[in-house]
């Protein structure tokens, strides 16, 4: 399997004899060979190539690539079969079709020059976005068109900064780090009581936004953990920009830092119990709730006496039938924990208000919960 952040990136042989590096964010195997195409390629022919597993390197006009990819997506977008199904089957089928579409369009590639630019006509400036996402390189690199567009969008967020309700100052998300665009998570912290003088742990810290909110509310020190090195770098940079460097540290760790205890432990957990498809997906998808269960089983021994843990979680999986209504409460009890407080707010994000979303009737009623947990007495 291929991936980024490896000591010897895999290479692809180009038709002109050059060896170029391969960039992937979703574990796609390196193409054995590629075919260069330009503005003369029709959408119909492109679909035939992509469905046959051929990786296409676009050498034509950049804006034409965008139009061509839209035409390709229209031709290959899988549709529901029209058979009436329950909500769970519909959602799983929708995700499978989305994954299939992403796999096929992921074979439509761009060639990044060693300096991070594109040689395509009318190409945008990409050097900074490429450097921020994947670092510098001494050779050219191949990247799926959609992946580069994601890096470009993330670079825009990083340059502009992001204001978060309840936080003084702005957050700068990095590529590959879940952006804190859903403010309900922050709002729920308002009902958790005082954090004055508390030492807190923010599990899966991402940009570090929840840590910084708690520090502004009186916490004495915050530790953020994350499995993703990009998140550790992002949270560290944000702490510096917000003036929290002396009261915050980010650590690459699987849930808990070894040998430490805290007064408050917070986990904004991935809420969909389905396998992630990409690195960024891990912020939302958690196959079978395994990560959530490991956190529940280990959090008690990381709490100081009289300490509390806070679990932030959406109830969308229950509404979609991906887990039963009593699954979470049973896992909490079997992990030796009890619920000392339960608070919720209606979800407030784009999909919850978009009537064109195929699951709007479910999403419009979604609730975000804060469960305050303590060891059983």
Q: What is the pLDDT of residues 111-138, one digit of tens each?
A: 999 999 999 999 999 999 999 999 999 9
Asked if residue 238 lies in contact with residue 261, where contact means CB atoms within 8 angstroms, the answer is no
Q: What is the pLDDT of residues 16-37, one digit of tens each?
A: 999 999 998 887 788 988 999 9
Asked if residue 351 lies in contact with residue 345, where contact means CB atoms within 8 angstroms, the answer is no
Predicted confidence at residue 3, as pLDDT, reads: 36
Predicted confidence at residue 166, as pLDDT, reads: 84
Predicted confidence at residue 2, as pLDDT, reads: 36
What residue ranges do the domains of the chain occupy? 11-156, 161-375
Q: Give which of 111, 117, 97, 80 is closest to 12, Cα–Cα.
A: 111
**Residue 272 pLDDT more than 50?**
yes
CATH architecture, domain defined by 161-375: 3-Layer(aba) Sandwich (3.40)
pTM: 0.91
Average pLDDT over residues 203-212: 96
Angle between helices 43-51 and 87-105 (to 10 degrees): 100
Task: Find residue 110's DSSP bridge partners.
Answer: 143
Predicted confidence at residue 313, as pLDDT, reads: 95
Q: Give which of 183, 187, 162, 184 is closest to 173, Cα–Cα.
A: 162
Predicted confidence at residue 81, as pLDDT, reads: 67
Q: Give which of 318, 315, 316 is closest to 360, Cα–Cα.
A: 316
Predicted confidence at residue 77, as pLDDT, reads: 79
Predicted confidence at residue 192, as pLDDT, reads: 92
Q: What is the pLDDT of residues 163-194, one digit of tens each?
A: 998 899 999 999 999 888 777 788 899 889 89
Quote the percentage of the chain above a pLDDT of 70. 97
Asked if residue 214 lies in contact with residue 264, where contact means CB atoms within 8 angstroms, the answer is yes
Phi, psi for residue 71 in degrees, rounded to 5: -65, -35
**Residue 1 pLDDT more than 70?**
no
Residue pointed to by tokens 């195929």: 358
Those residues whose C-beta lies under 8 Å from the C-beta of residue 282, and which sit 6 or more positions away, are 227, 228, 270, 276
The 10 Å Cβ neighbour count of residue 99 is: 14
- What average pLDDT is seen over the chain? 92
Phi, psi for residue 33 in degrees, rounded to 5: -150, 160
Asked if residue 320 lies in contact with residue 275, where contact means CB atoms within 8 angstroms, the answer is no
Q: What is the DSSP letter of 125?
A: P
Q: Give which of 145, 151, 139 is closest to 9, Cα–Cα.
A: 139
Angle at 184 between CA 179 and CA 188, to 5 degrees: 125
Q: How far apart are CA 329 and CA 334, in angstroms?
A: 9
Q: How far apart are CA 244 and CA 344, in angstroms?
A: 29
The 10 Å Cβ neighbour count of residue 376 is: 11
Q: Give which of 309, 269, 266 is closest to 285, Cα–Cα.
A: 269
Q: What is the pLDDT of residues 214-262, one digit of tens each?
A: 999 999 999 999 999 999 999 999 999 999 999 999 999 999 999 999 9
Q: What is the largest CA-CA distance in the chain?
A: 72
Those residues whose C-beta lies under 8 Å from the C-beta of residue 375, and which sit 6 or more positions away, are 300, 303, 336, 337, 338
Quote the percentage of the chain above a pLDDT of 90. 80
Strand ranges in 237-299 using DSSP code E only, listed in sequence order: 248-252, 262-268
Asked if residue 44 lies in contact with residue 75, where contact means CB atoms within 8 angstroms, the answer is yes
């Amino acid at each position: 399997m291929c991936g980024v952040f490896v000591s010897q990136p895999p290479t692809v042989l180009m038709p002109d004899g050059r060896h170029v590096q391969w960039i992937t964010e979703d574990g796609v195997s390196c193409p054995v060979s590629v075919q260069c195409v330009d503005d003369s390629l029709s959408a119909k022919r492109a679909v035939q190539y992509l469905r046959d597993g051929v990786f296409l390197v676009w050498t034509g006009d950049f804006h034409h690539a965008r139009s061509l990819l839209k035409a390709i997506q229209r031709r290959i977008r899988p549709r529901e079969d029209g058979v009436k199904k329950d909500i769970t089957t519909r959602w799983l089928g929708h995700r499978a079709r989305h994954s299939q579409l992403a796999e096929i369009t992921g074979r439509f590639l761009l060639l990044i020059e060693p300096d991070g630019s594109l040689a395509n006509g009318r190409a945008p400036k990409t050097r900074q976005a490429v450097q921020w996402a994947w670092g510098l390189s001494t050779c050219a690199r191949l990247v799926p068109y959609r992946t580069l567009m994601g890096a470009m969008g993330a670079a825009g967020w990083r340059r502009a900064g992001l204001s978060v309700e309840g936080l003084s100052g702005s957050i700068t998300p990095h590529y590959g780090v879940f952006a804190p665009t859903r403010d309900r998570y922050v709002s729920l912290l308002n009902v958790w009581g005082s954090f004055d003088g508390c030492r807190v742990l923010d599990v899966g810290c991402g940009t570090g936004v929840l840590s910084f909110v708690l520090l502004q509310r009186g916490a004495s020190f915050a530790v953020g953990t994350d499995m993703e090195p990009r998140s550790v770098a992002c949270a560290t940079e944000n702490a510096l920009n917000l003036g929290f460097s002396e009261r915050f540290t980010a650590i690459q760790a699987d849930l808990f830092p070894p040998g430490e205890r805290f007064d408050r432990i917070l986990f904004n957990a991935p809420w969909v119990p389905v396998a992630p498809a990409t690195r960024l997906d891990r912020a939302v998808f958690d196959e079978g709730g395994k990560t959530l269960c490991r956190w529940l089983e280990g959090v008690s021994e990381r709490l100081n006496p009289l300490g509390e843990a806070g679990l932030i979680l959406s109830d969308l999986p229950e509404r979609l039938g991906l887990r039963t209504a009593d699954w979470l409460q049973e896992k909490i009890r079997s992990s030796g924990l009890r619920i000392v407080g339960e608070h919720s707010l209606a979800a407030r994000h784009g999909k919850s208000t978009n009537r064109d979303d195929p699951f709007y009737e479910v999403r419009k009623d979604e609730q975000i919960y804060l469960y305050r947990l303590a060891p059983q007495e």
